[in-house]
Amino acid sequence: MAQIFDPLPSHSDSPILCCYVNATSHIQIARISNVTNWYFERVVFPGQRLVFEAVPAAHLEIHSGMMASAILSDTIPCDRLCIQEEVSTPYLTEQQLERLNEGEDIEVGKTEPAAATP
């Protein structure tokens, strides 16, 4: 799933694709708080796989507990959760792909509108 609501900061070094699996029977909160100018937090349900982008220096905090109390139960370096060496460059967002399909120019390259065929 694309990180539309909180994309990585533009000054960040090459992002890595990461995966975390909640192997417990409890709801967890996954949070990255050590990257400046970026906030990442997701609810991870039991058995759910969370796939996300992060910078290599990021640390994923796993908080677990009941409704009113959450306890930091683990901190995992994101480079240990890496499932791909690096994200393809240039990385096109869904919105950029849509604009390309419509024949618009985007930052990574220019396109021509497709010619209509009879």
- Phi, psi angle pair for 16, to nearest 5°: -120, 150
Residue 4 lies in a domain: no
66 vs 106, residue with greater confidence: 66
Residue 3 lies in a domain: no
3 vs 96, residue with greater confidence: 96
Residue 34 lies in a domain: yes
**Prediction pTM value:** 0.63
Number of domains in the chain: 1
Residue 2 lies in a domain: no
Of all residues in the chain, what percent carry a pLDDT higher than 70?
58
